[in-house]
Chains A and B, each alone.
Chain A
Amino acid sequence: MQEILVNGKRLSVEGVDPQTPVLWVLRDHLGLVGTKFGCGKMQCGACTIHVDGVATRCCMLPLAAVEGKTLTTIEGLAEKGDHPLQQAWRAHDVPQCGYCQSGQIMSAAALLNQNRKPNDRQIDAAMAGNICRCGTYQRIQAAIKTAAESMGGAK
């Protein structure tokens, strides 16, 4: 593989073993370290990115599997870091340690792309793959609703 499309840019992955999980390609080879390593087994969601708009754990996703696909990481969610979710995260002071929050925001963004007015159960279901050991879940839930509202969805 020569290159992958990340955050609208074609980036070279020449020489990288195509079996390498995308997480490590992003972090070690491309220097995009906003996507985090938490478990390596698709258990915790810290590594959540979008692959063609779908929230995807990339710690077990081989590089070869994303050829021709469009990847978005937290760095590319909004150029100025002002995605409605990021604004809502600020308004609700969501992060504690912050380590899982890239993944949380990426999961939430994929949810809102598909459902502009999610209810509590839908939010719980969409976010079930993302662990926060600090326990910021209540604020994440509130922030998702705030963002949905500002995007013209739920009220």
Chain B
Amino acid sequence: MSPELSRRSLLRGLVAGGGLVFAARLGTDRLWAQSAAEPTDWSPDIFVTIHPSGQITIVTHRSEMGTGVRSTLPMVLADELDADWSRVTLEQATGNPTYGDQNTDGSRSIVQFYQAMRRIGATARFQLERAAAEIWGVEQDQVRVSEHGVVGPGGKRLEYAELVEKARTYDKPRKSKLVYKTPEEWRYVGRETKTYDLDSLVTGRGIFGADVRVPGMLYAVIARPPVVGAAVKSVDDSVTRKIAGVVDVHTVAALSFPVVFQPLGGVAVLATSTWAAMQGRDALKIEWDLEPAGKNAQYDSAAYAEALHSSVSSPGKKVVDEGDIEATLAGAVRTFTADYYLPHLSHAPMEPPVALAIASENACEVWTCTQNPQAARDQVASALGLEPDQVTCHVTLLGGGFGRKSKPDYCAEAALLSRHTGKPVRVQWTREDDIRHDYYHSVCATHLEAAVDEANVMVGWLGRSACPTIMSTFQANQDRPTMEMSGGQGFHPPFAISNRRIEACEAPAHVRIGWLRSVANVFHAFSVCSFADEIAQGTGQDPVEFLTRSVNNPEHRLVKVAQLCAEQAGWGRQLPKGQAQGFAMHASFGSYVAVIATVELSKTGEISLPEVHIAIDCGLAVNPDRIRAQMEGSVVFGTSILRWGSITAKDGAIVEGNFDTYPVARMGHQPARTVVHIQPSDQKPGGVGEPGVPPVAPAIANAIARITGRRIRRLPLTGQDLSWS
């Protein structure tokens, strides 16, 4: 392999059959399609190339982990360009700041790039129309695009293919000259268009992280330290090295704090097959040095839960302080108080982390399932002592992400091992690796107090939250929630209450803390939505009426979406004994979601879900079918969190390891019927991937409380008594 590895040289190698052979050629055709820079092509922007054949290549720069965004953003561009989707080829961008932000998390792909894709499409369209107008000798306003061509006076038509040569000679038009399509003219936005990858995903041809293969590659698995920060004291690899197929055993340096995206360290076994590497790892005898892990080695979830409850029992650092909460609580007609506790969660995407790297002295090429290819590039560069532009990060399809794959520690592992061996190396994480060495969703305890006046109106609200902060992953001495307390993280109730205080309480981190689908909204929305329902119940009010009225703005989008959900779900209808409806509403990531769950409990407490309605106002519904799919998925994801989601530590090590000890929802656990309602809207698009998750668990828990008469104040449900009589 040439020391000067460039993407183009490798891909030339692929085409010539000289350097690379991919296992699944059929799948690679599409995922790795290249807009080979023919001089006759026209690229009005880095995101789009129109070929003289009329075929259009659109660069898709966000990662596909199931939301459909790899298709949806290009659809927006194709829409404005009036391109025929069947003549569009997608090219997945490598990690490069030239494309703008590529970190596919925070439910912001459409939020950030919808208008940019429209503008790029409109720019290309302007130039194509100009070319046609000049050819016909008419004014530009007499021509218009129509399905991959331009039509002019008298029904004349020129295909895009015929206009490329002329259009490519123009300078880009000024933004003020661009005319955007009206919604009536849209072809794909707001319509039902199949995603680009649908065919490859139903035939097994989609290329995921572990599906990229190169000749001579080694397969690696790593025995990582059981406690974050621990180092290898000694390793006996004598048995490992005797296993057929094992090529090398190599110690990866321990990390230093803060952990950021560094590899965890440990002992890597490199082999000629995944199985040999796994066998080799099983045979290692490693002694760990826990000293550098400090207090992490004592992390014990049972004791830590007590510490968190204690932390929220006294005042923390004030984040919001409006009015006079102390006097309001002291003088209230009635007060409510409750503590909630939600444990750590692991992301557990179906595809565990995996990366393939080819590193040389002064370059590195990586193929991986990453949500954040620019961070992957930077982390690999930093691990190898290279500049970011010496690293190329190719993005495969992701078998789920949920936030895990924004953290590229596994990419750096592959790069280091490739540098060490001089060979291409794939690092494969097993399920146990994934669950025991995650960037965990935070454990959290909250304490809530509310004051209610004689008219049953909430007049005071005190909220305290203690959760190890995501910031602890990036900086030293981050011992209480910070970003988790911001307005977008669910702990500021959406109600008009003039006396309110929000406090951040101490909670040091002892594992790597990361963000998981909807982040702090998971535990904060559970606390707020459960507590508000408890107040409604305690004051004898209908929860939908009480909560929406408490917002004190009938036009609020959260109120509107709650009403939509209530109407559609038949809120308040008579149900048989053992069944109840539960309600929750929550705004996050620029969208508004309401959930009404019908829950059935057997007398012994076995739960089933006859029906769940979920309504979303995400502004303009750019890709309605994928929005419905995300809402359906959110109900299942929320059900997993509610029923089983729990990661625990003992002596600093994570106890759970696979789906037997960290169960997630299976088909039989989903609602018998999930119904999605999308609020029609022409507002700016909001997020979709995450905002469906937060209200699901509290809606179900609120229904359970109606049946059993006992509030659910900690998760998961497993092991809790849900019986009733």
Contacts and interface: CB of A to CB of B under 8 A. Distances in A.
A21 B279 CA distance: 11
Interface string B642-674: 000000000000000011100011111011111
Interface string A79-118: 0010000100110011111111110010000000000000
Interface in A1-27: 17, 20-21, 24, 27
Contacts of B23: 31, 33
B199 interface: yes
Contact of B24 (A31, A94, A136): A31
A33 B633 contact: no
A105 B398 contact: no
B667 A128 contact: yes
B203 A74 contact: yes
Contacts of B205: 34, 75, 81
B65 A97 contact: yes
Most buried by B among A86, A89, A95: A95
B202 A81 contact: yes
**What bracket does the count of chain A residues touching chain B fall in?**
35 or more
Contacts of B64: 97
B194 interface: yes
Interface in A40-62: 40-41, 43-44, 46
Interface string B666-687: 1110111110000000000000
A29 B275 CA distance: 11
Contacts of B402: 133
A99 to B, nearest CB: 3
Contacts of A41: 431, 658-660
Contacts of A96: 66-68, 629-630, 633
A99 B208 contact: yes
Nearest to A129: B666
A132 B351 CA distance: 11
A52 B24 CA distance: 25
Contacts, number: 187
A66 interface: no
A61 to B, nearest CB: 12
Given A28-B273, A135-B637, A137-B670, A95 B198 contact: yes
Interface string B188-213: 00000011011111111111101101
Contacts of B634: 135
B397 interface: yes
Interface in B45-73: 64-68
Interface in B386-410: 397-402
Contact of B632 (A43, A99, A138): A138
B427 to A, nearest CB: 13
Contacts of A98: 66, 197, 200-202, 206, 397, 399
A135 B665 contact: yes
Contacts of B659: 39, 41, 43-44, 131
A97 B666 contact: no
B172 to A, nearest CB: 36
Given A31-B23, A38-B350, A97-B399, A21 B633 contact: no
B14 interface: no
Which one of B213, B348, B635, B666 has the highest number of Cβ atoms from chain A below 10 Å of its Cβ?
Answer: B666
Contact of B431 (A40, A73, A140): A40
A141 interface: yes
B666 A128 contact: yes
Nearest to B633: A135
Contacts of A74: 203-204
Given A24-B273, A124-B668, A97 B24 contact: no
Contacts of B430: 40
Contact of A93 (B206, B625, B633): B625
A135 B614 CA distance: 14
A28 B660 contact: no
A146 interface: no
Contacts of A46: 350
B636 interface: yes
Given A24-B275, A133-B400, A124 B199 contact: no
Contact of B350 (A27, A36, A105): A36
B431 A95 contact: no
Nearest to B204: A34
A101 B201 contact: yes
B367 interface: no
B274 interface: yes
A43 B660 contact: yes
9 contacts: A37-B210, A46-B350, A74-B203, A94-B202, A99-B351, A99-B397, A131-B659, A132-B350, A135-B636
- For the complex of A and B, the 5 pairs showing the least CB-CB separation, nearest first, are A34-B204, A135-B636, A99-B399, A98-B201, A96-B66
Interface of A: 17, 20-21, 24, 27-29, 31, 33-41, 43-44, 46, 73-75, 81, 86, 89-90, 93-102, 105, 120, 123-125, 127-128, 130-141
Interface of B: 23-24, 64-68, 194-195, 197-208, 210-211, 213, 219, 244-245, 273-276, 278, 348-352, 397-402, 428, 430-432, 625, 629-630, 632-637, 658-660, 664-668, 670-674
